[in-house]
Amino acid sequence: MASRNTTLKLATCMVMLSAAGWAGCVALPNGGTESDLRVSAVSRKSWQAQEAKPRGADPGQYVFRKEPVRYVTIHHTESDPRNLIGQKTGDEQLRAEEASLRAVQRFHIEQGYGDIAYHFLIGPSGTLYEGRNVGVTPASGTVYATESVWKPRENHFPDSGQLAVEGNGAKPGAVEGHLTICLLGDFRSSGEGKETPEYSPTTAAQETLVNTVARLLHVYHLTPDDVLVHREVANTSCPGEGLYRLVRGEQRYPGGSGSLMKEVWRQYSAESSNRSQWSNEALP
Ligand SMILES: [Zn+2]
């Protein structure tokens, strides 16, 4: 297991995992190895996840992928941040995050999702957590639009989160190509149906998000242009204005790069010399 630590790229994560006396790695799809990802996630077992319940899932909410991953999509749980951050430090913080994950999973299974909706989750501590099987499509309470609907600028309304999806090219299979990363917390502004002040992810969570996205782009042979936020493909405020601004900046989608996407681009470009090596590895 010592070799696992050599694969860790997330300094924050490594510190937190060491503090917890535990270092586990997420299982990659398609026979990939941990070194392909080079980020380490706290396993489902470690955060005491329930077993997935695919047989109890609603149609379309727990389906094994038939097509490759094409997009990495960013979300928030809309969990009250007061339950997640504040006075907590160290192990107490990690226990709070694990409890939050279990609550989210419980809720999602009750919704008929068969498991927690997202493939990866990130806590305010900057810890990355393993979510649902990456070989399974994400679950969602929203209808994802097909690319022909969300890509044209005229169909896109990021400020309000209002995307004309219903009856406008949406189809159940549109969610299939997405791999989802979700930050624990609520990053909506007060103008998005929230009473508490606008709130942004912690620096640690932002760093983990960037590192994870950058690695996943390499693993799945994608580019930063394939990174989306939920509100860009469905009628939702997710992941809240606070996180959306960090991803897109003021220019917004398409083309907008906030501080987070600038860093994703930087990491992605810095590793471009390794890209031929990555593309030669067997990740069908
Ligand atoms: Zn979302």
Least confidently predicted of 10-14, 142-146, 161-165, 191-195: 10-14
Average pLDDT over residues 52-63: 92
Whole-model pTM: value is: 0.81
The pLDDT tens digits of the residues spanning 186-236 come to: 998 877 777 766 688 999 999 999 999 999 998 899 999 999 999 888 888
Does residue 118 form part of some domain? yes
**CATH number for the domain that contains residue 88:** 3.40.80.10
Residue 4 is given by DSSP the state H
Tokens of 275: 């890209």
Q: How far is the CA of 231 from the centre of ligand 1 (A)?
A: 7
Order of strands, edge to edge, in the sheet holding 227-229? Answer: 128-130, 120-122, 178-183, 71-76, 227-229
Range of the domain at 153: 46-274
Using CA atoms, how far apart are residues 139 and 159, in angstroms rounded to an integer?
24
Asked if pLDDT for residue 98 goes beyond 60, the answer is yes
Q: How far is the CA of 141 from the centre of ligand 1 (A)?
A: 9
Q: How far is the CA of 274 from the centre of ligand 1 (A)?
A: 32
Does residue 233 form part of some domain? yes
Decide: residue 62, CB within 10 A, 0-12 exposed, 13-18 middle, 19+ buried. buried
Asked if pLDDT for residue 160 goes beyond 60, the answer is no
Sign of CA dihedral 123, 129, 134, 138: negative
Better-scored residue on pLDDT, 240 or 7: 240
Q: How far is the CA of 121 from the centre of ligand 1 (A)?
A: 12
Does residue 171 form part of some domain? yes
Does residue 67 form part of some domain? yes
Q: How far is the CA of 2 from the centre of ligand 1 (A)?
A: 35
Does residue 170 form part of some domain? yes
Q: How far is the CA of 114 from the centre of ligand 1 (A)?
A: 17
What is the domain count for the chain? Answer: 1
Using CA atoms, how far apart are residues 127 and 281, in angstroms rounded to an integer?
27
Better-scored residue on pLDDT, 32 or 255: 255
Say what the pLDDT of residue 228 is: 93
Strands 178-183 and 128-130: unpaired
pLDDT level of residue 275 (50, 70, 90 thresholds): low
The pLDDT tens digits of the residues spanning 162-183 come to: 554 454 444 556 788 999 999 9
Does residue 155 form part of some domain? yes
Asked if pLDDT for residue 283 goes beyond 70, the answer is no
Q: How far is the CA of 253 from the centre of ligand 1 (A)?
A: 16
Does residue 40 form part of some domain? no
Say what the pLDDT of residue 155 is: 52
Does residue 206 form part of some domain? yes
Q: How far is the CA of 74 from the centre of ligand 1 (A)?
A: 7
